[in-house]
Structure 1
């Protein structure tokens, strides 16, 4: 029995004797099955290959980014937030090995793991077991969990306070239960928002965007983006980090609001004439 990992999305399935026929995460319009066909690996195979290593880099006081080199699957970045007496792993990466565990324990370990959406569930149960941590997923995305665990806590409502300075917000959009993490004491007390790719920073780092599917270029309706912007208008944050290590360094709250307006204007045919 193995916990097989989809090589396209990097999400781990529950134990099975043989490789699953399909990947639940990839086999729908927000993701994709590789043109080369469905393929699987295991964490044990990845470690034994000695191909991958994790890099842990400090972003600012109390915040570290975690990424795997070379890129595996989607290639996202996870973040370790050192809150007030509470360490949060925001989103997850697939590869985890003893070296990574040792380095993170030196930084105080992990008290909880919170996920923005199913594409980054990765090997979340492996991480939770390594650090004796709970996993927080919004109940609206419960159906996408491919490896069940007693460590998973399905939270409900529009927000959840994990610690004195860390709050999860259900934003929706990309997935119904899609969430962002507000770190109130980040950016020298001016606030940080961690968004996965529920909201992505674009090439021009003063702007962000919103999508239903990024790989398949399916936009969100204007009404959904307006609702998301309205929710985020009530949160104070100066800096924003997305899942691919793109950062809005200053005045990120305003960047989200003007980006939402531009997005809606474009969909409504009011931004340009071409």
Structure 2
């Protein structure tokens, strides 16, 4: 059965409403020429494929190539001896992509598919189906954004150890249920944070941003930025990856804390004399 994908955000839908609710929200956008839909079959016929590249040992980046679909996010596959996590699933999957992920995951297989927030739901249930029906974890606070129900969906909240040394935790911010993944074994044992765009690595690679909407430039308050930073600062992490190709390669925990303080200072007017 064909599923519908919003061409703008890439999220799978069980039906085609007049407008995708995720795109109609102030955090996203509907194209000037109106709502557009596509299917996995149409994308495959147009030449879509999934590329896989190693970011560091046991961490892989997945991207859609050959077509334009969704917001162009980068999925992460985190592989451990006890199993693998597919994080921020792409809006396209086919048998070849699923087979490659299963190969990289090894004998323990993929234990879960999870998204940092609704913009990253992608084709989450299709990924689950092609990976053997693994659970699709959705933050309970963001369940209302799910546009395609399915038996694999599993609500969660708070904090959850998915695998030894791999913790899914919920600082909120961008969405009430916005989540990140802490991987204690990453960066040679110094820790990695997979932050989605709950915490967004900036192009300078030495700072991060905290936003309600990235495309529409709506900031979070300074208080929320510092709350999010304090939540993740409970963990040790040397490196941070966002949901595109952004990375803070070193001292990432300190970078997050400093960036949140800078955000709060500017939001509070401490540096108005510079404007």
The TM-score with structure 2 as length reference comes to: 0.95
C-alpha distance after superposition, 1:148-202 (max 9, x if no partner): 1111110122x11111111011010000000000011111111100011111111
List aligned pairs for 1:175-254, cutoff 5 A: 175-254=175-254
Confirm or deny: 8 A CA contact 1:192 1:239 kept in the other structure: yes
C-alpha distance after superposition, 1:47-80 (max 9, x if no partner): 1222x22110001110000011244220000000
> Which of 70, 73, 80 pairs up with 2:70?
73
> Which of 1, 16, 26 pairs up with 1:29?
26
Name the CA distance, whole Å, in 1 between partners of 2:62 and 2:190. 23
> Which of 91, 96, 99 pairs up with 1:94?
91
Confirm or deny: 8 A CA contact 1:83 1:185 kept in the other structure: no
Deviation at 1:271, TM superposition (A): 2.9
State whether structure 2 residue 166 is matched by structure 1 residue 169.
no
RMSD: 1.2
Match of 1:124 in 2: 124
Secondary structure of 2:41 counterpart: helix
Q: Which runs of 5+ in 2 are unaligned?
A: none
Deviation at 1:101, TM superposition (A): 1.6
Over 4 Å off, 4+ runs: none
> Which of 103, 106, 109 pairs up with 1:106?
103
Match of 2:148 in 1: 147
Confirm or deny: 8 A CA contact 1:262 1:271 kept in the other structure: no
Name the CA distance, whole Å, in 2 between partners of 1:97 and 1:114. 18
Confirm or deny: 8 A CA contact 2:85 2:114 kept in the other structure: yes
Confirm or deny: 8 A CA contact 1:31 1:213 kept in the other structure: yes
Name the CA distance, whole Å, in 2 between partners of 1:257 and 1:226. 7
Secondary structure of 2:53 counterpart: strand
Name the CA distance, whole Å, in 2 between partners of 1:46 and 1:265. 45
Name the CA distance, whole Å, in 2 between partners of 1:156 and 1:120. 17
Secondary structure of 1:269 counterpart: coil
Q: Which runs of 5+ in 1 are unaligned?
A: none
Secondary structure of 1:129 counterpart: helix
> Which of 26, 34, 46 pairs up with 1:49?
46
Match of 2:259 in 1: 259
Deviation at 1:20, TM superposition (A): 2.3
Name the CA distance, whole Å, in 2 between partners of 1:86 and 1:111. 6
Name the CA distance, whole Å, in 1 between partners of 2:116 and 2:37. 24
